Structure 1
């Protein structure tokens, strides 16, 4: 049986390549696996040969030591692959299919799944709310930054690309369907972005850039992206966004007013999450900064999309309350302005088929927007370091060398 190289979290600031067991249609004990999931049979699952898998900002939270992730956890929840083995309970997914796996693992049977809330499936994570591959407290499903991975409930979860050759030509765009493109799109839909909207996106990391491109796809008139990282702001401008430099001392409403003529927008999206920093020169970590700032600049009765990650446990938080997920949010301001808030994991299946069609029919260029850059699986540790240092890049791992030099974007 084939081996299986994979990226493992070791300790804060360190990941390494390990050889782990080839996946089986059963959950085995290992780092982060919930005891109630050990021995769980998955005849409804498939084995994927991973074609592309991406480094996500959510992975970085774990690698920075900002969660309770155990040593040895295999990372990776953004997975695109070829089906090479099919369980006896799978009817419609076939060997040889090229597919996208939503980062949310969902059973398709429970109340939440039937209502379309696949991010909080009731049957896949005995420890809490919802599940994902290779993520702390998400049930212990082995991650996909690997050569091979098992995907459960395959008929329900997987999105099959209708034309394999066409999909391989668009693979850098299509690999974004597993997480960041639907996540950014969900943030914008939740914020009510539509034709003619003025939109503020907090954060110019890959999810923020994906949200900005999604806002354009939804018809926004002006998309403003805020960050302190000048390289990432330049990337946002490269596809037509306006930008504000949050490292400056000028108040955010004033900077927005210089762009749209008033100190407010119709809709705002938090694409940063709990490791936010205060605005201005030398801003220190202040986890409620983004939430409070988007309330400040969103007009009355506006909506706030919050796909940025917030956690119930943060051992590296700057204050005791934040270590338990309690933040100093100006809820009174949001209440006074009649704001609506949408939080939580993006239910990827709600959007991924439509976004696939948009990609295949040349309606969007998400890989270009997020500056997708292909690296080998062996180079994943360096990719994590570069990403942590603020690279304006979405790193796509190529475990089997299937993406080719012609698919490489950036430097």
Structure 2
């Protein structure tokens, strides 16, 4: 039987590659028992992983900022080649190359039928919503591996129409599993449209994806804020304006220097719960970005919040933040009649249309996020570099299939 190697969490700032069993056409026992369904999964497929990316959400676990146990497998951004299917899989065939939405969804429950696949009711007994290789998300094996099992394959998999074309554009297409739809969702939730002025907080991969998505949606100006000079240069490389939050001065004044007024039409939080206050050497203040975007978004504006917030953070600065309770100036947002959306991006809502943009050369997401190919064995070092602020999106190529 073919073996399988996977990236696992070994403790704060430590990952390793370990051998695990080759996937079976079975769902996790805890899901089967908790949901009262069969473990056998004739609806599933096994994929040979073509690419799998390191995500900022993974980095939260690796930093020890979640309740992830030692041994937690990692990886929810997966693109793969189908190598085996269950008897109930009708429309996905061996040899197909597919994008795997990071949301695991049954395609049968009320939420799935409403298009809210990020909060599927049948894939995680702990709470709505599940993902591969993530703490408290159903016990599904991670995809930073050589092989992975995908349940409800006909519903979850997005097949690329042409194998050769897919491999040629794989560094762009690999972003469809999470960050491109997530960034796009943040921009759409914020109401970005033709002529909008937009502020994106955070120049990590999701922030860069939100900035590129805002451009695709017709924004006139996209401003990206961060404290990392290298990441700000990456944002500038594809036409964004930037503000350096490590320097003194009010954010509204920095916005005004770009657009001529101290506010924008739409704002996106692509940072999440590990936000820091402004200024060089500033400490952690988890509500900083949420308060920032409310302060610079015009009256009646939308706020997109794809940045991750958690209910359990053992490394938080205070007891309230350890349970996800942070000092948001909600009164400010209420007074300005802001509307906002949080939660996982429902990837299936966007991934097919974004695929079409990539295949038609209308979107260059790999360039925007500085996609950088690495081997599976290089993943632990890449986690270290990412933690130190590298302006790269690391794409793991387990089988040397990326040109």
TM-score over 0.5 (shorter chain): yes
The Cα of 1:39 is off from its aligned counterpart by 6.9
**Residues 32 and 39 in structure 2, CA contact (< 8 A), matched pair in contact too:** no
Cross-structure match for 2:301: 302
**Residues 28 and 139 in structure 2, CA contact (< 8 A), matched pair in contact too:** no
Q: How does 1:11-410 map to 2 (within 5 A)?
A: 11-28=11-28, 36=34, 40-404=39-403
The Cα offsets for residues 281-337 of structure 1, whole Å up to 9 and x where unpaired, read as: 221100000000000000000000000000011010001001001011000000000
**Residues 27 and 151 in structure 2, CA contact (< 8 A), matched pair in contact too:** no
Give the superposed CA RMSD.
1.2
Q: Secondary structure at the match of 1:396?
A: strand
C-alpha change, 1:87 and 1:232, in structure 2 (3 Å) is same
Q: Distance in 2 between matches of 1:36 and 1:22?
A: 24
The Cα offsets for residues 170-225 of structure 1, whole Å up to 9 and x where unpaired, read as: 00000000000000000000000000000000000000000000000000000000
The Cα of 1:82 is off from its aligned counterpart by 0.1
Task: Report the count of equivalent residues.
Answer: 402
Q: Distance in 2 between matches of 1:156 and 1:314?
A: 33
Q: Which 5+ residue runs of structure 1 have no aligned equivalent?
A: 405-411
Q: Distance in 1 between matches of 2:315 and 2:280?
A: 22
The Cα offsets for residues 84-126 of structure 1, whole Å up to 9 and x where unpaired, read as: 0001111111111000000000000000000000000000010
The Cα of 1:34 is off from its aligned counterpart by 8.7
Q: Secondary structure at the match of 2:90?
A: coil
Cross-structure match for 1:409: none
**Residues 31 and 124 in structure 2, CA contact (< 8 A), matched pair in contact too:** no
**Residues 103 and 133 in structure 1, CA contact (< 8 A), matched pair in contact too:** yes
**Residues 198 and 222 in structure 2, CA contact (< 8 A), matched pair in contact too:** yes
Q: Distance in 2 between matches of 1:194 and 1:67?
A: 35
Q: Distance in 1 between matches of 2:210 and 2:67?
A: 28
Moved more, 385-394 or 32-41: 32-41
Cross-structure match for 1:4: 4
Q: Distance in 2 between matches of 1:200 and 1:387?
A: 23
C-alpha change, 1:34 and 1:331, in structure 2 (3 Å) is farther
The Cα of 1:40 is off from its aligned counterpart by 2.0
Q: Which 5+ residue runs of structure 2 have no aligned equivalent?
A: none
**Residues 34 and 127 in structure 1, CA contact (< 8 A), matched pair in contact too:** no
**Residues 172 and 367 in structure 1, CA contact (< 8 A), matched pair in contact too:** yes
The Cα of 1:41 is off from its aligned counterpart by 2.1
Report the TM-score when normalising by structure 1. 0.96
The Cα of 1:28 is off from its aligned counterpart by 4.6
C-alpha change, 1:303 and 1:28, in structure 2 (3 Å) is closer
Q: Distance in 2 between matches of 1:113 and 1:222?
A: 35
Q: Secondary structure at the match of 2:52?
A: strand
Report the TM-score when normalising by structure 2. 0.98
**Residues 224 and 240 in structure 2, CA contact (< 8 A), matched pair in contact too:** yes
Q: Secondary structure at the match of 2:319?
A: coil
**Residues 81 and 99 in structure 1, CA contact (< 8 A), matched pair in contact too:** yes
C-alpha change, 1:377 and 1:54, in structure 2 (3 Å) is same
The Cα of 1:80 is off from its aligned counterpart by 0.1
The Cα of 1:60 is off from its aligned counterpart by 0.3
